[in-house]
Amino acid sequence: MSKELENQKLNYATQGDYCLPCIRTKEQTELHIGVWANRHRQYLKHHHRIRYYNLLTSERLYPYLAEIEEQAQTMFSQLVKAFAEKESVTEKLKANNPMLWVRKMNNIRNRAIEIVNSKVIFV
């Protein structure tokens, strides 16, 4: 290792012919993130690596993901409620014809998931 590297107060790990700096961040409090935030985290990790690592190293990743989780969950709930009211999917239908109610609710949930994915998660 050269004297320039030894004089600096960074630790380096030798990987083959290279000396790479050992960079550590402070311990981050891991917030509980749900399915929406996990989807967005995976999307960032695979498609927007620079943004992901900038958030991670600046210690803003978990608060950012918690905000995305809340935003997506709110949008999903509002969409499901609005679609159910628009299509008259009520408790009365649930009592009279449960299979039809399940089909309609699954259809509504799937549409709401697609909208949230396109507007919040995969952007």
Q: pTM for the whole thing?
A: 0.75
3-class secondary structure, 32: coil
State mean pLDDT over 6-34.
74
Domain boundaries, the chain: 34-121
CA 88/CA 104 separation, integer angstroms: 10
Q: Are 76 and 116 in contact (CB under 8 A)?
A: yes
Residue 43 has pLDDT above 70, yes or no: yes
121 Cβ neighbours under 8 A, 6+ residues apart: 36, 39, 40, 43, 68, 72
Angle at 8 between CA 4 and CA 10, to 5 degrees: 125
